[in-house]
Chains A and B, each alone.
Chain A
Amino acid sequence: MKRNQILTIGSIVLLFLFIGYANGHLNAYYIRILNNTAIFLMFAASYNLINGVTGQFSLEPNGFAAIGAYTAAILTLTPAQKEAMFIITPMVPWLQHIHMSFFPALIVAGIVTAMVGFILGFPVFRVRGDYLAIVTLGFGLTIRVVSNNTMSITNGPLGLKGIANYTNLWWSWGFAIAAMIVIMRLINSEFGRAMKAIRDDEDAAIAMGINTFKIKMIAFVTSAFFEGIAGGLLAHLITTISPTLFTFFLTFNLLIIIVIGGLGSMTGTAIATVLVVWGSEWLRIVEQPMHIFSLTIPGIPGMRMVIFSILLIIIMIFAREGIMGQKEFSWDSLFKLFKTKKVANK
């Protein structure tokens, strides 16, 4: 027990030492990828909490990300910036004058998103299965349409520009690690067991005295909170946001990550996030013009998505469990692995 705690703390310290090193020594391109990794890890882990652990197949993270991103961005933009930006319709006055520093803005973004999640939860959890997916998909689409049309709050299709570039490796990884710790602690408790029980058999869970609505709501609101913060981090990383950023593609990317990693496994999510985020950078080659012998293929934008889609299909056919299935990494299992290997060597 003690040993495992030391190892966990040790590896987190190592990770932050690496971040400290990366901050000073790596070029902007790699730092950007590392930031993306942390933000997507946060998105995917929260998404997996509701989709994989609680088994409620839903499609709303792009909506939550949009709410978080817009909330945080509106809060950190200075009144002068807002006045200059809202050229078609002026911003509503109470939002016009509000201004906060980065950290409280992110927390407010998380809380606002969690509140939206809480309200959304009431209609959403009246239905199960496919219906749940459709209702949440509708929410994601609605948020985009709303952000396109509420000119006095979001500046509509013009989007928000000049958001300060606050997100650095410390912020993104700090929040990502915090989110992972909270989610893992939630999973490794009676609440997590109840979530898994609902996933395995909802009727039996009800018969065991589990208030399934409450448990689903806990998973959903937690997920919304962290997705909101991740959205805020994303906004302050790319510094320009508009409704087109938060299409279903974002949700689709996250879905690929959690399915590749294994629905219900946070370890799998972490591995798959690295694979997908880094992989999609590496796959930029396929979108560039290629010369194979005498054949010239013009660059096809979006080719990466085709490859990821094919990958998803292959996984659905041959490895439905994903990389980790529902298993989690633990120090004990690692040591066990070494032990059995030693025995095998003898």
Chain B
Amino acid sequence: MNTVLKCNKMTMRFGGLTAVNEFSVEIPEKEIFGLIGPNGAGKTTVFNMITGNLQPTSGMIYFYDKPIVGLKPYQIVSLGMARTFQNIRLFTNLSVLENVLTGFHHKLKYNLFDTILRMPKFSKNEKIMVDMAMELLESVNLKDKADFKASELPYGDRRKVEIARALATGPKMLLLDEPAAGMNPQETLSLMYFIEEIREKFDLTVLLIEHDMKFVMSLCKRIAVLDHGVKIAEGKPEEVQKNPDVIRAYLGDINA
């Protein structure tokens, strides 16, 4: 089994505060890996370091054996890593279709001159991109809403558009930051099937942060638990659930 993502003693310090301390993890191909932990544990910081939004103070990150520390976020995207945000961040004034189209940006096949002179290359590639985007929207059941403005969609659909937009970048790995946040139980359940479905369809490796325990426990094969920036447990969901350190982190010390 290939290792998709390998973090080696990744550390992030903000001044005197150590947000993440020597975090190491290895995620094999096709796995759905969960990252959990109490509020402020440093989960999103881990995400931001992997996607290149933050440069780790020390430590290494490998994506398919290629070191990615120091690369710009858009370079990491073109290597095949896509993310979604904790609070959905769609381009609200663009249509659903245009939102998805931006995902093809890093593979753009025409240049400025083709654009200004409207060369055949331009219209040909525009059409190909629109067709691909529509196909992608069809696979997430949003084809009929392609011309809606992103801000006009209900919450659950926005999350789907955000995932579809991430899929448009052609990722091998998908990083989902609290995908089920703010969803009701039914929406959460359908999202769970949805993530499983796209993982099959697009051969994805998934790393997700989530607070909904039922969601994480039933979706993820393995879980890492983060508390105060330190990884306190890693393993199968049922093992992690019983780990006394994890229980302490979430519920506090019984003897305290």
List residues of chain A with CB under 8 Å of any chain B CB: 182, 185-186, 189-191, 193-194, 196-197, 199-201, 203-212, 218, 264, 326
B residues less than 8 Å from A186 (CB atoms): 112, 115-116
Contact of A206 among B73, B98, B116, B129 (CB under 8 A): B73
B 81-124 binary contact with A (CB < 8 Å = 1; else 0): 01101000111111000100111111010101001101000100
Contact of A204 among B85, B101, B108, B129 (CB under 8 A): B85
Contact A191 B106 (CB under 8 A): no
User: Is B11 part of the contact surface with A, judged by Cβ < 8 Å?
Assistant: no
User: Is B53 part of the contact surface with A, judged by Cβ < 8 Å?
Assistant: yes
Contact B53 A206 (CB under 8 A): yes
Contact A201 B105 (CB under 8 A): no
A212 to B52, CA, bound (A): 14
A182 to B113, CA, bound (A): 10
Contact of B102 among A185, A197, A211, A218 (CB under 8 A): A197
A206 to B73, CA, bound (A): 6
A253 to B74, CA, bound (A): 37
**Given A189-B126, A194-B105, A209-B103, are A182 and B116 also a contact pair (CB < 8 Å)?**
yes
B4-59 at interface with A (beta carbon < 8 Å): 51, 53
**Given A193-B98, A208-B77, A210-B74, are A203 and B89 also a contact pair (CB < 8 Å)?**
yes
Contact B91 A211 (CB under 8 A): no
Contact of A207 among B77, B104, B118, B122 (CB under 8 A): B77
CB A282 to nearest CB in B, in angstroms, measures 34
CB A27 to nearest CB in B, in angstroms, measures 37
Contacts beyond the supplied A186-B116, A200-B91: 5 A-B pairs with Cβ under 8 Å: A190-B101, A193-B98, A196-B91, A209-B103, A209-B169
CB B100 to nearest CB in A, in angstroms, measures 10
Contact B78 A185 (CB under 8 A): no
Contact A208 B165 (CB under 8 A): yes
A297 to B90, CA, bound (A): 55
Contact B112 A208 (CB under 8 A): no
Contact B89 A189 (CB under 8 A): no
A207 to B76, CA, bound (A): 9
Nearest CB to that of A204 among chain B residues? B89
CB A204 to nearest CB in B, in angstroms, measures 4
Please provide the 4 A-B residue pairs with the shortest distance between their CB atoms, ordered closest to farther.
A209-B77, A209-B106, A200-B91, A204-B89
Contact of B93 among A185, A190, A191, A196 (CB under 8 A): A196
**Given A190-B108, A200-B93, A326-B93, are A208 and B116 also a contact pair (CB < 8 Å)?**
no
Contact A208 B129 (CB under 8 A): no
Contact A194 B115 (CB under 8 A): no
A residues less than 8 Å from B108 (CB atoms): 190
Chain B residue total in the interface (Cβ 8 A) = 35
CB A249 to nearest CB in B, in angstroms, measures 31
Nearest CB to that of A198 among chain B residues? B91
- A sample of 22 cross-chain residue pairs with beta-carbon separation below 8 angstroms, ordered by A number, consists of A189-B115, A190-B108, A190-B110, A190-B115, A190-B129, A193-B101, A194-B105, A196-B94, A200-B92, A201-B89, A201-B91, A203-B53, A205-B102, A206-B74, A207-B85, A207-B89, A208-B77, A209-B103, A210-B74, A211-B72, A211-B74, A212-B74
A residues less than 8 Å from B89 (CB atoms): 201, 203-204, 207
A residues less than 8 Å from B110 (CB atoms): 189-190
B residues less than 8 Å from A190 (CB atoms): 101-102, 104-105, 108, 110, 115, 126, 129
Contact of A218 among B72, B77, B85, B112 (CB under 8 A): B112
B102-161 at interface with A (beta carbon < 8 Å): 102-106, 108, 110, 112, 115-116, 118, 122, 126, 129
Contact B112 A191 (CB under 8 A): yes
A203 to B53, CA, bound (A): 9
CB B94 to nearest CB in A, in angstroms, measures 6
Contact B105 A209 (CB under 8 A): yes
A323 to B115, CA, bound (A): 28
A186 to B104, CA, bound (A): 17
Contact B115 A207 (CB under 8 A): no
CB B7 to nearest CB in A, in angstroms, measures 19
**Given A189-B115, A189-B122, A197-B102, are A208 and B169 also a contact pair (CB < 8 Å)?**
yes
CB A256 to nearest CB in B, in angstroms, measures 22
Contact B112 A209 (CB under 8 A): no
A residues less than 8 Å from B103 (CB atoms): 208-209
Contact B78 A209 (CB under 8 A): yes
A residues less than 8 Å from B72 (CB atoms): 211
B residues less than 8 Å from A191 (CB atoms): 112, 115
**Given A186-B116, A204-B91, are A193 and B53 also a contact pair (CB < 8 Å)?**
no
Contact of A194 among B83, B102, B126, B169 (CB under 8 A): B102
Nearest CB to that of A211 among chain B residues? B74
A222 to B92, CA, bound (A): 25
Contact A210 B116 (CB under 8 A): no
**Given A186-B115, A193-B94, A204-B90, are A210 and B105 also a contact pair (CB < 8 Å)?**
yes
A210 to B101, CA, bound (A): 12
CB B111 to nearest CB in A, in angstroms, measures 9
Nearest CB to that of A199 among chain B residues? B93
A residues less than 8 Å from B112 (CB atoms): 186, 191, 218
A189 to B98, CA, bound (A): 10
B residues less than 8 Å from A326 (CB atoms): 93
